Structure 1
């Protein structure tokens, strides 16, 4: 028969965390095998000691103070601490302390969990969220975030002062390199151009790859016209030297569009449109040309105003704007469990207009408020009869900042008799992190009513893993930029797996968007993603085509199962 000490020791040794017991004088009286391994000492060396002998003064003070607090108050505490392990490597440890009383004597039960891998994953996530994987430059997300800082009134510039330059660059003839020499050669050219561009970029400027063969440069200080002209000439000269490949030395040219950031600029989108208008003009003029934005160049300005008027009329009449629905698939069995509602606009005169065009325009003009309400109402009406399906709707940060947003949503759901439990609102993590106290209160009101909240484009904003600890959400949607490379890049695969595992532990639904291949699907299922979405399963469908899809599935499915999608190679 085992005695109590043997049983206690066996239990402690079975625990995954390093665990030990301290008496009222903070001396170790009991510990498990994991604690010995963590400290690199034997049981005999640890017993009777405080376990603080090899630590620095700051660590000793912090741990002693924590133990004393637990002994005196009886309250449990949890904190993170960094320390050197037995191999002299700095590791991160989560420390949990609670008080136990034996024979009226107080003791401190301490457990230590090595979270170094988690912190390293967070660091990798932060890097991947803001950097282009191929070139190592910043990415579009990083540029957008910096642009949003630049256009904030009073930040980085004074009244009447320029706030720097935004340059957009496009490599002319790059497609020919891919077609002639292959994508590996194309990747080399992109990386080499990125290296050259960094070499001429002004100090502290942000250099980014926007995607494909498009690059950008944002300066953080006012730049004189002569200096800006000189910078553009240097960039154009970068392509005068051939890009040496094995057995070939192909040339490309570069077009540069420039816009000067002034006090009048109020949105990041406006900056990008102006730089893009200048880039378009540079490409129109020929090869290796740079062009500065001017009002006369902005041929899109009148088009924008025309589009704004047409959008306002469409919202006022309630016509021409419709919903498309992209199915959401349960990873375990390919069953359709929900849909995401996506705005579509078909104007009688302008034709079909992409959401990439009209959604930013709606945000800039304030029309996003009525547009969001129209899409939500239409989606609730059309999906009401599909009682087993959840409905996801995207929410703009501007909508969230509206003080009456939660009240509007709940009133609309009541009017349409749509159950709040079936609705999930998707917001980007950047939008939530930038929201004020009132915006966060809106989310609390919605969740209390049963509406679910999802973090969209997860991994492209702030410190994503840390974010999950601070904000109560129901699901996370791993961005398609991670899914795209999940079967090709080890770092990306590791991040997706880490996020999936963490999501499961936090009882979150983990959704992967942009799934296009069977290989991606299998990896995501194995990684622990609970829901999938992408062209592998279905493109966004009109209400009629969605109904036809369900009808086709209904005819072919087993009567005991739900609507399953048959994936075709």
Structure 2
């Protein structure tokens, strides 16, 4: 049949695939070394026998059918199977069957390629594509696929579901404080805690750096979801386990209930993010359910953002008012705080509480701050006896060219550096990076003063005073309000005043509303006072009129 059996055998043995040649009675004629290893038997035992690589009855029958098909039609056959090799290891293999005609006789050439590693790699790739490497939880891709599947099945499976989007608050602060390895440990522990809380009734995913999600199945009601949310908040009261610390971590999350309505995966996520944003605005360790009212609020916000952006490039909508700051011992006005006001042609007068927060959230505060500072410099410049205080947000302080902006503007307006005072909240200073602190240092070297606003309401007020260089501290109005009524508050104000005096800082009490508060604050050592007792924020014209009264304001 074949002229040189030894050459044929050598060729077969050189192949990396298990290869056999069967005659039309399915008996083995040739077999290579790789096939012998797969069978776990020597070649001498196999030649002339009807053997199959597949011992399972169904598989063996399938092989016979494929052999018959190749012999009958001459069609090449390629397919995948699984088999157990001689060592008992399960393998994924690709089987190829081809008809050979030699000396007018039909033969079946069968080769088996081991693709176990390939299939394992593909499975690993599929796993990694849908799972977070750090926590092992499903990722955003898996979440989107699950939501799309749920949305597609709503016609014949309209049972209710719930989506919870969760966000760990101030996670960058945790990373900076404890290190990134500790941050990773917190993420892993938090993910495991969520899985324990859900307990098989849903899917927990990590969908971003500090973002997680839960899809709840099994017909959750709003009551059961509400109870789960409360349990999650109780769980968050337990400190996280680190080697040298046990930090308490806060959480915000938004919840969406959805079921039979016609809704896409993207819309479910949008509603979840709307609810999450509402929770974040309400505080920490807070959750919020989505409702159409939140959408109405979002529409209102978008309208206001558009209107504010338009007003920033239009003259007349934005203006300054000024609240005097007095020296305590003679009640002389020595400084004014510039405050932004916005009056829109359609929206009317918009509360600063609304538009300042919106400007910070959207980044418009950078342009807004520049407009207000420029206008204030022009209006106050010629009043040589007055300093100008202006608020600076964390967003502005974080700008890469923050100091350059201030220096350029002051030079353009010919406003003395020594008459400008920047008011920053202690939280924004504490969270500032090294570059931002360098900006402040550079400005102070040029004569610009720095004041810590809302002093006492942040993380670690006293330590800040020794870590950064400031000229003034402003005692927050929340302390001043109760200074004559609550002993603890009075003690705090006195302690801060004494500390400020020892450090040769100006101590400014804001929110002074009555004579009793004024008397206490002066006796406690506050060097400067500000509040409605002396003047509300006023326009430049009214301010000039007040200053004409010997720079002295009496209640």
Q: Scaled by the length of structure 1, what TM-score is found?
A: 0.52
The aligned counterpart of 1:204 is 236
Alignment partner for residue 452 of structure 2, among 447, 455, 458? 455
2:342 counterpart of 1:345:
yes
Match of residue 382 from structure 1: 379
Secondary structure of 2:234's aligned partner:
coil
1:510 counterpart SS class: strand
Mapping of 1:403-482 within 5 angstroms? 403-482=400-479
1:565 is aligned to 2:549: no
**Contact in 2 for aligned 1:347/1:353 (Cα 8 Å):** yes
Q: Where does residue 511 of structure 1 map in the other structure?
A: 508
Q: Is the Cα–Cα contact under 8 Å of residues 152 and 266 in structure 1 kept in the other structure?
A: no
Deviation at 1:386, TM superposition (A): 0.8
Query: Structure 1 residues 300 and 400 mapped into 2: Cα distance closer, same or farther (>3 Å)?
Result: same
> Which segments of 5 or more consecutive residues in structure 1 lack a partner in the other structure?
1-144, 165-197, 207-217, 227-259, 280-289, 555-562
- What's the C-alpha RMSD, in Å, of the aligned pairs? 3.7
Instruction: Tell me, yes or no, if the aligned pair for 1:148 and 1:268 is still in contact at 8 Å.
Output: no
Within-5 A mapping of 1:262-341: 265=273, 270-273=278-281, 292-294=289-291, 297-341=294-338
Q: CA deviation at 1:146?
A: 7.7
What is the CA deviation profile of residues 270-325 of structure 1, one whole-angstrom value per residue up to 9, with x for unaligned ones? 5345899xx9xxxxxxxxxx982235642111111111111111111233100010
Per-residue CA shift, 1:238-261, capped at 9, x if unaligned? xxxxxxxxxxxxxxxxxxxxxx99
Q: Evaluate the alpha carbon distance shift between residue 355 and residue 202 of structure 1 in structure 2; reply closer, same or farther with a 3 A threshold.
A: same
1:492 deviates by 1.0
Q: Does 1:488 pair with 2:485? A: yes
Does the alignment pair 1:159 with 2:147? no
CA gap of 1:492–1:526, structure 2 versus 1, over 3 A, is same
Query: Which one has more relative contact order, counting CA pairs under 8 Å at least 6 apart?
Result: 1
SS at match of 2:389: strand
Question: What CA distance in whole angstroms lies between the structure 1 residues aligned with 2:254 and 2:370?
Answer: 43
SS in 2 for 1:325: strand
The 2-side partners of 1:373 and 1:265 are apart by 31
Alignment of 1:134-149 (within 5 A): 147-149=169-171
Contact 1:394 / 1:425 at 8 angstroms: preserved in 2?
Answer: yes
Please give the secondary structure, in 2, of the residue aligned with 1:511. strand
Q: Is the 8 A contact 2:255 2:272 kept in 1?
A: no
The CA distance in 2 between the partners of 1:274 and 1:486, in whole Å, is: 27
Question: Which residue in 2 is equivalent to 1:76?
Answer: none
Cα distance in 2 between the residues matched to 1:530 and 1:295: 51
Determine if contact 2:325/2:334 at 8 Å carries over to the other structure: yes
Q: Do the aligned residues in 1 keep the contact of 2:480 with 2:509 (CA within 8 Å)?
A: yes
SS of the residue aligned with 1:407? helix
- The answer on whether the counterparts of 2:252 and 2:279 sit within 8 Å (CA) in structure 1 is no
How far, CA to CA, are the matches of 1:406 and 1:266 in structure 2?
35
- SS class of match (1:487): coil
Residues 264 and 370 of structure 1, relative CA distance in 2, 3 Å threshold:
farther
Q: Deviation of residue 362 (structure 1)?
A: 0.8
Does structure 2 conserve the Cα–Cα contact (< 8 Å) formed by 1:339 and 1:392? yes
Helix, strand or coil at the partner of 1:299: helix
TM-superposed CA distance for 1:204, in Å, is 3.2
Tell me if 1:361 matches 2:358: yes
* C-alpha spacing 1:538/1:417, structure 2 compared with 1 (3 Å): same
1: CA distance, partners of 2:387 / 2:252? 48
Query: In the alignment, what sits opposite 1:542?
Result: 539
The aligned residue for residue 523 of structure 1 is 520
Determine if contact 1:345/1:353 at 8 Å carries over to the other structure: yes
Q: CA deviation at 1:385?
A: 1.1
| Structure 2: gaps spanning 5 or more residues | 1-166, 176-183, 192-205, 215-229, 239-248, 258-267
**What secondary structure does 1:334 align onto?**
coil
| Aligned residue number for residue 5 of structure 1 | none
Q: If you compute each CA radius of gyration, which structure gives the higher value, 1 or 2?
A: 2
- The secondary structure found in structure 1 opposite 2:408 is helix
**Contact 1:269–1:360 (CA under 8 A) maintained in structure 2:** no
Number of residue-to-residue matches in the alignment: 327
**Structure 1 range deviating more: 359-368 or 389-398:** 359-368
In the aligned structure 1, how far is the partner of 2:390 from the partner of 2:255? 45
1:365: Cα distance to partner? 1.1
SS in 2 for 1:564: coil
Change (3 A) 1:421 1:274: closer
In structure 2, distance between residues paired with 1:489 and 1:506: 26
CA contact (8 A) 2:324 2:535 kept: yes
SS at 1:547 equivalent: helix
TM-score, length of structure 2 as denominator length: 0.53
Contact 1:427 1:454 in 2 (8 A): yes
